[in-house]
Structure 1
Amino acid sequence: MDTPNQPPGKSIPKQDLGGRKLSFMDHWYTLHPWIHFCPTRGKVLCFHCARANALSSSVPAKEKAFITEGFSNWKKALQRFSQHARSEHHLRSLPPSRNSITGVIETADAKQQEVNRANLMKVITSIIYLARQGLALRGHGNDDGNLIELLKLRACDSEELEQWLRRKERYLHQDTQNEILQLVSHEVLRNIISGMRDAVDGEVPDVPPFSVIVDGTQDISGNEQQSICVRYVDKDFNVQEEFLGFYQAQSTTGADLSRLIEDALRRLNLPLTHLRGLAFDGAANMAGCVRGVQAILREKTTKALFVHCGAHCVNLAAKESCDVSTMLRNALYTINEVGRLFAESLKFREKFAELCVCENESPKKLRPLCPTRWTVRLQAVDAALDRYDEVLSTVEELGAGRTHVAARAAGLHAQLRKKSTLLALHMARVVLAPLDRLNRAAQGSRCTVSQLMSSVRLTKELLQAERDNADHTIQGLLRKVEASSCDAPMTLPRQKRVPARFAGAGEQHHAEDLPQYLREQLLLAIDSACTQLSDRFDQEGVREHGKVEKALLSSLNVKELDQLFQESPWREDISVADLAPQLQVLFKNNRPENLDAAKATVADLEESARAMFPDAVKLVRLLLTLPASSATAERSFSANVRNLHADSEFGNSGKSFICAAERTSDS
């Protein structure tokens, strides 16, 4: 409080003198502006003396009434007020006059503090801005880099900041920058945890059931960084995925990674008892059933379900389906080399752009194939097919030279002019296109396991439809290839005989003509994709999730529900005896067809109505909590892996840098 509390005199307790009551007079405030009414004591104090007493314990005995005890003798009020106003303690406690030397110094100091505070805030906001945009703060020296250049730009509009930057102490040392980033990251994490606690109904602070999404990558210095995310459901039944940061791992064994995850959760006060889901990739150290991270964590919390990341499963399925056919594999390798040559050779890019302009077409960037994310190879295939004639003409002209680039271009021209290469690219697209759409659906941050499995079923149906229509597809592709500029004819390749120890002594099947051979190659890729999808998504966590979802969506009695929950890790979270009548009443008029419909029904209920269906509401939350893939972690990698590289090169703290870049708007 900077000013005395001076309420109306009638609100101050009166003094009782044997049936005679004396009141506090309002004009006393004018005579003695230092009078302060203390509501807790019901008496008045000296505002300046009481304030000064907080910094010193020496209180004169005569002045205790106006400093600590309080004064309420209104009969002698004017006398005592005047005496206190002339006391030495009161005069020392008064703030210095602005005209005095002390007052001038304190005024100047206060103004300088205000200016310093404003300039320091500009430094902090500049650091937050750069972190938010994922830009490195420092350069190769102390006086270059994005931060100092941004501050110089802002100083053009602020003379005070320009003078600040000339100072010796500018608070721009690398340790200060890292400390600011760390403070921001801690505030961000506190806001994330606070948001999680707000999702829990009740007066006792707690966290909702949550899942953990973990994936790993290496920075430029070779340090293993683990991206840790949490997934939970808020009060409005919206799925929230929060990126907690990158954590450096000393080792990639399952035991060390599980300890790292436990330590990160423990530091954020996220107990393992609330952990209900795990989403990792399929590496042995993560998904292993004995020494993997999921096995170790599930030993400590048996209520957690593990789901192998859906996006990784789709990528692996795409890889196997393309590798199983040598025809498709060789064509994709050729396109990869074209993309590499396009990225390395300026002459290639210029000639390609020139040919595209001549055809009144906008040049499209040719890209090499991603070595790990197979589903994005569709983009590279589409880019090559859209400008196939221009690509063919470009490599033909480049191949006429005498450089090493010409040798590469000549080899690529020999492959691209084959009609079999163009046909194989079209066949690869038949398989990759449905898988690419499935991958996009799996990477949604709010995608649930049930939605993922529904997308998998639809993808398999699309692939099966392509299989049934394979003859028509091959005929159409043959007509398209024949009309292209490729001049190397297609012939039926030599078909190897499988050793008798594998195939037996019976007569082996060989394609009789080219269309039959091409149909077999296409069916081989399609069948491999369908088999991979079936095998890779046949997971224990997915099956358990399906059982619980069936309990929610089906009209089952207590006995049937008890059988479904008999081996479910979530059995202790749900009262089966209470769940059956709650579901019957909640979905009496409209039985939901899927989890989204059940979520909408529960979300439309008022909070008081939700309290009538606690087990049904909890079941919906649990089903939404289990992640379908590590989509958030993958997005964090693609957006922030360059930050990890910059951190290692310029010395920033990777974890705090990334955390601050993710959520600085909250702080």
Structure 2
Amino acid sequence: MEQIAMCVRYYSETEQDVREDFVGFVQAESTTGEALFNKFIEGQRDAGLDISKMRGQGYDGASNMSGCHRGVQARVQQVVPQAMYVHCKAHSLNLSIVYACKEALVRNLLDTVQQIGFAFKYSAKRFLAFKEELGNDPVEQEEMQKRTRLQSLCETRWASRADALYTFKAAYTSIVSALEVLEREGDSKARSYRCSILGFDFIISLVVVEFVLQGVMPLNKLLQKQNIDLIEAAKESRVLIATFRAERADDAVWDGLYDKAVAMAEDQGVVPSKPRTARRQQHRGNVPADSVSEYWKRALFYPFLDHLVVELEDRLVSSNERFKAQYLIPSLLPELSRDHEDSIFQEYESDLSGDREAFRNEVSRWKVRWELEGTKPSNLTDTLKATNKTLYPDIFTCLVVLITMPVSTATAERQFSIMRRLKNYMRSTMLTERKSGLALLHAYRHMEIDIDIIINEFAASKGRKLDLL
């Protein structure tokens, strides 16, 4: 059965922080945009949520969810025009890596790593050979951080491929030795695997791609947090882009990567080399270069980094009129112009209590208030904690709407992980209501429950022969 995981993101004035809570599962008989929309609205109403107060909606990029004409987000905006759609930033980061990894050298590297990872994972004989070779090298054991297996490349979470590449690079010597042993024992594929990873093109690609993807991992983890907001997500995305550009321009970074690749190659007797430069070449990189290092920098490092930066800019650093409310953050008030004030008022007008002139007066008082303060908040959460809702109701409303805009769908994805643990082959007939209830118990297991109250309600729900009270 198809299931919809519904989560709500809101600002808790009691805790003075943004929260994302799981509401429950809803069974979907169809996956069309119209059917999912009807189930989505029905599930919210059953949960007691006021749909008219929805100001944002977040999904992945599937056409039935994000379609601008017949998708769920378009149908929701017909009912609640203020509910702006946000493409999950964690999915956007994932897609950026997917398209950047379509570079020929990177694609060949990942295919080879995946094939060898599967070869050792699904064969007891090959795994034993790898484990024995790894046990003979204490240095690689330490670099593997007590891991005994090669990690396979995840088909959906591309950012996690950095860990798989790190494991492969750390155990590179053991992998080559294990393949040599298997080749002598008659393994028909071991020789082709060993030859494919002993080329300098593979070694340099492994070092470069692992280094770049490791730089993406902190942002990937940040985007999956519940209390992150769109402003912080965009700011950290710009930081990552600026970091990549600085590393591209710094020759010392490339020299360090190239030296690592050369050291790995020399350990295996591989001579650093580059393909022959031809006058005309269509089926591989034909970059003019005076040295081996210069060739791989131009053919691999620059294209992969540039492609990734372009994808990150297109997918993660996006602007919207609603985002201009960030200029109400005290540290950004000097950049707040009259045009920005008008844009903010126009975007949030349906939620504000007064007219344009009243909003301008409130903003003027807001500026004066923070001119008298020494320490100024620099993010939405700290600003909301310092905002008096009675004195600055419209500013408080703008900031609350902005902070509750969804950043990612990680909370909903976690609930599907819960469902995998709840619905197994021994619970194959469990219906949606029971499954949703068990998922809620699992998701909020940290909450204290009075067992006596539960027993009393269960016993009094209908006449029972068993005396529970």
TM-score (norm 1): 0.59
Alignment partners' CA distance in 2, 1:493 and 1:557: 55
Q: CA deviation at 1:347?
A: 2.6
- Residue 201 of structure 2 is matched in structure 1 by 420
Q: CA RMSD in A?
A: 2.7
- Residue 411 of structure 2 is matched in structure 1 by 632
1:368 aligns with 2:152: yes
Give the count of matched residue pairs: 425
User: Residue 545 of structure 1: which of 311, 322, 330 is its match?
Assistant: 322
User: Residue 589 of structure 1: which of 372, 384, 408 is its match?
Assistant: 372
Q: CA deviation at 1:291?
A: 1.4
The answer to whether the 8 Å contact 1:418/1:486 transfers is no
The answer to whether the 8 Å contact 1:288/1:295 transfers is yes
The answer to whether the 8 Å contact 1:549/1:595 transfers is no
Q: 1:593 to 1:421 in 2, by over 3 A?
A: farther
* 333-342 or 263-272, larger mean C-alpha shift: 333-342
- Residue 41 of structure 2 is matched in structure 1 by 262
Alignment partners' CA distance in 1, 2:240 and 2:340: 31
Alignment partners' CA distance in 2, 1:292 and 1:591: 48
- Residue 349 of structure 1 is matched in structure 2 by 127
The answer to whether the 8 Å contact 1:280/1:308 transfers is yes
Structure 2 residue matching 1:565: 3-state secondary structure: helix
Is the radius of gyration larger for structure 1 or structure 2? 1
- Partner amino acid, structure 2, of 1:460: I
1 or 2 for the larger relative contact order (CA 8 Å, sep ≥6)? 2
**Cα deviation digits, residues 164-214 of structure 1 (max 9, x gap):** xxxxxxxxxxxxxxxxxxxxxxxxxxxxxxxxxxxxxxxxxxxxxxxxxxx
Structure 2 residue matching 1:483: 3-state secondary structure: helix
Unaligned runs of 5+ in 2: 450-469
Unaligned runs of 5+ in 1: 1-222, 500-507
Q: 1:396 to 1:293 in 2, by over 3 A?
A: same
- Residue 113 of structure 2 is matched in structure 1 by 335
- Residue 2 of structure 2 is matched in structure 1 by 224
- Residue 447 of structure 1 is matched in structure 2 by 228
User: Residue 297 of structure 2: which of 519, 544, 547 is its match?
Assistant: 519
Q: CA deviation at 1:243?
A: 1.1
- Residue 616 of structure 1 is matched in structure 2 by 395
Q: CA deviation at 1:253?
A: 1.7
The answer to whether the 8 Å contact 2:370/2:376 transfers is no
Q: CA deviation at 1:307?
A: 1.1
Q: 1:567 to 1:620 in 2, by over 3 A?
A: closer
> Equivalences for 1:199-598 in 2 at 5 Å?
223-235=1-13, 236-324=15-103, 326-360=104-138, 361=141, 363-364=146-147, 365-402=149-186, 406-469=187-250, 471-484=251-264, 485-493=267-275, 497=280, 510-511=288-289, 513-520=291-298, 521-539=300-318, 542-552=319-329, 553-554=332-333, 559-565=338-344, 567-568=346-347, 570-574=348-352, 575=354, 576=356, 577-578=358-359, 579-590=362-373, 596=379
Q: CA deviation at 1:630?
A: 1.1
Q: 1:603 to 1:473 in 2, by over 3 A?
A: closer
Alignment partners' CA distance in 2, 1:410 and 1:601: 62
Alignment partners' CA distance in 1, 2:219 and 2:437: 34
Q: 1:386 to 1:271 in 2, by over 3 A?
A: same
Identity of aligned residues (%): 26
Alignment partners' CA distance in 1, 2:29 and 2:248: 48
The answer to whether the 8 Å contact 1:280/1:307 transfers is yes
User: Residue 599 of structure 1: which of 350, 373, 381 is its match?
Assistant: 381
Q: 1:610 to 1:411 in 2, by over 3 A?
A: same
The answer to whether the 8 Å contact 2:377/2:383 transfers is no
Alignment partners' CA distance in 2, 1:557 and 1:510: 49
Structure 1 residue matching 2:225: 3-state secondary structure: coil
The answer to whether the 8 Å contact 1:474/1:518 transfers is no
